[in-house]
Structure 1
Amino acid sequence: MTFAVAMYNLYDKPISNVKVVKTIPDDFSDPVIRETTEGRGEVEDNKIVWTIDKLIPEETVLMKFTCSIMVTDITKRRTGPIEVTYKANSSFAGGLAIDKYDAYTRNKFYVDTVERDEEPGVWDCKLVFENPSEFILQLFNADVYSPEDESEKFVDIDPKDVSLLPAGAQWHSNKWRYESEELPAFRKKLEFRVMPDFQTNVNGTISISDVILEIASITGGMSYDLTQVPTYKEQDVIAKLKIINNGSAPLNEIAINQQYFTSEFNPPNASEVTMIWDGDEVDLPSNSVKFDSNVFRISLKNLRNSDTGLFMPESILEFEYPIHCVNPVKEATFESEITYLANTFPLSQELEFRPEVPIIEALHLRRKFRIGKEVIPIGALGKYQIILTLENIGTAPLQNVVLMDKVPDNFEYGSYSGGKPQITDEVGEDTLKWTIDLLNADDKVEISYEISGTGEYSPSDAQLGL
């Protein structure tokens, strides 16, 4: 089971040190963090802990985790409370200001002097001012000049050109060139001030009470009335789909997706789809059926405001529609995938169920058969045995094959083997007729009967086959 926890920052400033603790009840086991769009999630005993360093204004973040639960009934389950702590800037302190202050703090400055590699006695010099304190400093004067002549300044700043220095920051002057065979020495005068500042923070705590979990679940199945169709012929296969709400939560949205249609296996039109709700046929709005990007889709949305109402527990929803098989070639197949989707109101994690879908095969079956007749003299003069044979020499089963034989004039008949015939007058008088219901490939059936000539008869008449 997948859970999702979402947070949205309503402040106009970022919040920090966000910590979300979700308690996992004993009914659930094996919690696993699946996704966090921000921060990091961890499992600690029976708790999910989600920490976020900073959450900017008007941003939504999401954490998904899964748990296992053994459900043997549709009893509602408690999901466990959520505790949230965070730190934010105070909104009520916006009008406060510092009227007067005194401050002393640490400071550090020095001059870096580096003699050039290829010019002995020529030095590159630079003044560095550091803020080793925990306060913000403003450097508003920095003078470096020659010890012999104060009018010869090497560093002279405009306070507007020097940014405020936060704790740990450095300011570097421009380098100057100085020539001396001795180690350079300079006179320095620096002036700075501590900038007044104050911060106010709000530590927030949010408790979200235990949410009662309805058990939302769907199951179902599907079938075709045919799984084999002939090649190079047009034929419809009826798809029958069934969705069952086997949970305890009413469902507000139902969707069916079937994909992988081809030019030989086409989806139905909207008008060809039949919907049956708990045994009663219900009108399906035409805009609920779409075919786009090779996906046939049936969508039922906002059922709570429809004539049918919500899809309640133990209800059954059925759909029937044709799959149009259009002259499929030899060995063509329709291997489709069907997905049932459902959701509640308000929206929760979408339910998904994939029924097993049979494969429709195009069979290249061509009927080939052989019918024979044999006349064998037996016993006394004028007595003959007639043997009729039907042999399936093709690959397709033969169904409802009719064998007929006309008894010659002036002959009596009887002693049947292989089934008693129907006696008709379809081809003159005394036409014997047998119907073979099914004859599989490579099978053979043999039927025989006897005739006896009376009066003026012609034995050659018995050779006539129908």
Structure 2
Amino acid sequence: MDPLAPAPSQEDLEQPPVPDLAPSDLTGEQAGATIRSRAEVETVPGDKLEGTLHEIETTTLNSDGQIIKQTVKGTLTVNNPSAEDRIYDIDVMLDNIDATDIGGEHVSVDELEPTKNHKMSYKVNGKQMMTLRERLDTNPSRSQERSLSVAMNEDPGEISLELEVENMSGVELQDVVVTRPIPDVMHFAMTGGAEFDNGIVTWNVGRLNAGEKQVISMEGTIEVSTTKAIKAGQASATYRADSTLSNMMFRELDAFCRGFTYMRVREDERPDNWKCQAIFENRSSFAVDLVKLQVRMKGSDELLFDIHDVDEDVHPYGKWESEERVVMAQSEPDFTYELSYSVLPRAIQSTEGSMKLEEKKLQVLEADITKTYSTSGLRSYRAQKIQSVMTLENKGSSVINLMRITDDIPGVFDAPTQEQLTIKLDGKAIDDEQFKAELVEGVTIEKEHKSPDGMGHTMTLTVGTRGPLGLKPGKKIEITYPLNAPDPSPNNTRVDAPARIEFSAERFGPICTREPSETPSIKVIHNRRNFSAGKQAIPLGGKGRYEVLILFENNGDTALSDLYINDVLPAQFEIKDWSMKGAEGKRDDVKMTSEEGEGGLHIVWHVPMVDKGERLEVSFDIKGSGEVDAEALNRFHGVHFGDEIETDELPEVEVAEEEDSEETDEAVVEESTEGEAATEEPAVEEAAEPEADDAEESNEKESKMNWREDVLLRVMEAAGISDRDAFIEFAADYDSDDNGYLKKGELEDAAKAWNAREEADSADDDSEESDSDDGSEEVNEKLCEICGVLNPIDAKECSACKFAFI
């Protein structure tokens, strides 16, 4: 007898003995008790068999709510809450285990002592109960695509934030809460039940029915003060559900406890009639659910009792009695029975989840822009080419994928073509299909400092037409093109060429607008070279001794570089000493070279620089023997010099030369004196006296022409032409491009025509005239002592250099 069993009543003692039906006989049976609701189970007194399926979700999502990383850990727990009684032969039957790695639908536990439990861990894959989405847009005014770039501007930019939660399960979700920190640079107006406290937005959603969505939208501004990427904040959400995320659930949960079943048999008043009654006694602290009871008399298949799922639960230490049945037997009946019962189960299925979105970074648009011209000055009335260079360096954290450039081309220049554009990304030229240039007449940006030479043009350049440009932070893009100034006038005292660049990271993203840190400005310098030069040989004491003076004075607007003063001594003379004086006295930086050549000793003095207004005097003594040729001694052999010394007002430019490559830069070009028309002065075998204001020009057409004096002399020498002035007047008709400048080719064409005309006019008389002229020239002409040109015997001044004959 169980020592813990209560003492039997007097009525029980009077009953016949019952067969030994110990609980151990039921080991291995599955009672199959129905899983009831938690609320119903809680109304029944007594301890219950506690079975728990609890799953915890931790998920990282992208902004679209797609899973990036998910971990779901589950725990199956079977608990004995009793402080007194053990339970045994525990069976757990599960449904919907496909999403878990629990291993099988049946979990068996032999026994659990009081207050003990059994736990089993598992994992869940491929299931999602709730999702969180975020839509952040830094350019909400453009609805085509959302943007995540921001531009550094003085004024705050627009920004919008939209949060969405969706129940993707078939059960109700509870305690749904969304939180999101807001960076200091962002400012939102709270709507839709959201609260803002201590830098965090909290949205208490509460309950979310199966399949339901809820959205909250906020508008605000963003202020950018740094080029570093801005962390936008990380939204997160939590929820709870009375169901598992894996959808796994209990199908059955049963266990045995201390319980007894027996038959009470009493003989009726009528002999051989026996009253039989089934009794179940619960000897534990648990509530018991009677599931099935079937009783037969031994040797008979007929069921005396067939009871299924008794409505009443057997309370702790209580008992259940069936109705009485009468059985006819001559002796006391013997029974067999089948009993299924279980500790009343309390099944709990739950999930708690937390998720966070992958944090976004707002990339900042910023760049340094430079636009430069290869010069800041142009020479007046000369066709010149310069180079325009525009550079954009990405100083932000965002990649730049699209650029729109508005570039003013001043009216002093011709418009460039797209073919002349060169665009290099990080030193590598991009394809022509990746950019497009459009030109319209008139400048767009500049309003004040415009060129009077023309309306100019506006070039609109789009870079990134075929696809994203991909200009990464720290990299540069360079845009270069040539500009041609065909005929800049002196009225261009200041001409500005501004530009504006708009760039973005996304096609519909915010636009950052920048202008060059310095606007290139150009002006036209109206400088003219003006000089005086001459030579005089003065007899000294003693036969054959002379002092020679050579004068060169720079009366032009700028300094001159690389001046070469040329002289030739007759063969019978030699130079003794020489010196050169300048504005500061003796010049020590002058070098003299000499070599034997045609006509005598060729001497060259090289002066590195002659300042504006500086006067140079070369003096030296010569001594010779034999017959003295006054013409040879006084003949000036000219000077050669390079270009002007450039100043800040007139940087070096690429001059659009039209001469052949054979022609050098050492040229005597247009010389003029203040207040009179420009005149051309010879550089070789000629002295210049531009100070003679009242000198008449020999020919109006000649005075309008420019040429290289050294080239002219070479052409004349090669063609055998000696009459310089007449030839220049004749050659003026061969200015084929009508630009007022006689190139070498044009001079050669004129020389051929000159000789052809001479041959046609005097083909028969050339020989006779040459014989008679030899004697008459000595009488009818005289030689200029300065330039060596023959003049009529009665001439008062030289027709070439205007030297006055005494």
State the shift of 1:326 in Å.
2.3
Query: In structure 2, do the counterparts of structure 1 residues 253 and 68 end up closer, same or farther at CA, with 3 Å as the change threshold?
Result: closer
Matched with 1:114 is: none
CA distance in 1, matches of 2:226, 2:497: 31
Q: Given the superposition, is the C-alpha separation of residues 369 and 271 from structure 1 closer, same or farther in structure 2, using an over 3 Å criterion?
A: same
Deviations 1:269-304 (A, max 9, x none): 11111122222233333961111253112211356x
- Tell me how far apart the structure 1 counterparts of residues 383 and 219 of structure 2 sit (CA, whole Å): 51
Question: Structure 1 residues 281 and 389, CA, compared in 2 at 3 Å: closer, same or farther?
Answer: farther
Residue 431 (1) aligns with residue 591 (2): no
* Structure 1 residues 75-117: Cα deviation after superposition (integer angstroms, max 9, x where no partner): x2124689xxxxxxxxxxxxxxxxxxxxxxxxxxxxxxxxxxx
1:384 aligns with 2:546: yes
Instruction: Name the counterpart of 1:215.
Output: 364
Go from structure 1 to structure 2 and tell me whether the alpha carbon gap of 1:235 and 1:433 turns closer, same or farther (over 3 Å shift): same
Aligned residue number for residue 490 of structure 2? 330
Shift of 1:219: 1.2
2:231 corresponding residue in structure 1: 78
**Partners in 2 of 1:422 and 1:325 — Cα distance?**
40
> Are the structure 2 counterparts of residues 445 and 359 from structure 1 closer, same or farther at C-alpha, using a change threshold of 3 Å?
farther
Q: How many residues are paired up?
A: 301
Asked whether 1:364 is paired with 2:535, we answer: no
Q: CA deviation at 1:399?
A: 4.0
Residue 429 and residue 213 in structure 1: after superposition, are their counterparts in 2 closer, same or farther (change >3 A)? same
Within 5 Å, give how 1:339-354 maps onto structure 2. Answer: 339-345=500-506, 347-354=508-515
Q: What is the identity, as a one-letter code, of the residue corresponding to 2:380?
A: T
- Corresponding position of 2:407: 258
**CA, structure 1 residues 382+323, in 2 after alignment: closer, same or farther (shift >3 Å)?**
same
Over 3 Å counting, the alpha-carbon distance change for 1:445 and 1:241 in structure 2 is farther
Match of 2:157 in 1: 3
d(CA) in 2 for partners of 1:370 and 1:224? 36
* Native 8 Å contact 1:254 1:341 kept in 2: yes
User: Could you tell me whether the CA contact under 8 Å between 1:424 and 1:433 is conserved in 2?
Assistant: no
1:115 paired residue number: none
For 1:223 and 1:301, the matched residues in 2 are separated by: 23
Structure 2 residue 577 is matched with structure 1 residue 415: yes
The correspondence for 2:462, drawn from 283, 288, 299, is: 299
Q: Following TM superposition, by how much is the alpha carbon of 1:451 offset from its aligned partner in structure 2, in angstroms? A: 1.2
1:464 to 595, 613, 635: 635
Question: What is aligned with 2:470?
Answer: 310
Quote the residue 2:183 is aligned against: 25
| RMSD (CA atoms) | 4.0
Counterpart Cα distance in 2 of 1:360 and 1:345: 36
**How has the CA–CA distance of structure 1 residues 420 and 439 changed in structure 2, closer, same or farther, with 3 Å as cutoff?**
closer
1:243 equivalent in structure 2: 392
Q: Counting helix residues as a fraction of each chain, which structure ranks higher?
A: 2
In 2, are the aligned partners of 1:368 and 1:393 still within 8 Å (CA)? yes
**Residues 1:234 and 2:386 aligned together:** no
Q: Which runs of 5+ in 1 are unaligned?
A: 9-21, 32-43, 48-61, 83-207
Kept after mapping to 1: 8 A contact 2:401/2:464:
yes
Structure 1 pair 388–296 and aligned structure 2 pair: CA distance change class (3 A): same
Alignment of 1:447 onto 2:603 = no
Asked whether the 8 Å contact 2:571–2:599 carries over to 1, the reply is no
How far off is 1:449 after superposition?
A: 2.9
The aligned amino acid for 2:636 is G
Distance 2:537 2:221 in 1: 83
Residue matched to 1:280: 428
The answer to whether the 8 A contact 1:270-1:286 is kept is: no
2:426 and 2:540 mapped to 1: Cα distance? 69
Of 222, 225, 228, the match for 1:69: 225
Determine if contact 1:252/1:302 at 8 Å carries over to the other structure.
no
Match for 2:437: what amino acid?
V
Instruction: Spell out, residue by residue over 1:48-75, the C-alpha distance to the aligned partner (whole angstroms, 9 max, x if none).
Output: xxxxxxxxxxxxxx9885635245xx4x
CA change 1:240–1:45 in 2 (3 A) is farther
Q: 1:284 is aligned with what amino acid?
A: D
2:384 is paired with a residue of what secondary structure? strand
- Give the number of the structure whose alpha-carbon radius of gyration is greater: 2
Q: Which residue type is aligned with residue 440 of structure 2?
A: D
Amino acid across the alignment from 1:405: D
- TM-score normalised to structure 2 length: 0.33
CA deviations on 1:187-231 (whole Å, 9 max, x unpaired) are xxxxxxxxxxxxxxxxxxxxx997521132211323222221122
Note the C-alpha offset of 1:255: 2.6
Shift of residue 406 of structure 1? Answer: 1.4
CA distance in 2, matches of 1:401, 1:345: 60
Distance in 2 (CA, whole Å) between partners of 1:403 and 1:341 is 57
SS at match of 1:285: helix
Partner of 2:341: none
2: CA distance, partners of 1:64 / 1:445: 77
CA contact under 8 A between 1:220 and 1:244: conserved in structure 2? yes
CA distances 1:334-357 after superposition (whole Å, capped 9, x unpaired) = 311012221002543212222212
Any conservation in 2 of the 1:265–1:334 contact (CA below 8 Å)? no
Is the contact between residue 256 and residue 299 of structure 1 (CA under 8 Å) also seen in structure 2?
Answer: yes
Q: 1:425 to 1:252 in 2, by over 3 A?
A: same
Contact 2:425 2:471 in 1 (8 A): no
Cα offset for 1:408?
2.7
Q: CA deviation at 1:313?
A: 1.8
Residues 450 and 323 of structure 1: CA distance in aligned 2, closer, same or farther (over 3 Å): same
Letter in 2 for 1:301: G
Counterpart among 363, 366, 374 of residue 225 in structure 1:
374
Per-residue deviation, 1:435: 4.0
Q: 1:456 to 1:261 in 2, by over 3 A?
A: closer
Measured in 2, the distance between the counterparts of 1:292 and 1:338 equals 15
Q: What SS does the aligned partner of 2:364 have? A: coil
Matched residue SS, 1:421: strand
1:5 to partner: Cα distance: 2.9
The structure-2 alpha-carbon separation of the partners of 1:421 and 1:317, relative to structure 1 and needing over 3 Å to count, comes to same
1:271 partner SS: helix
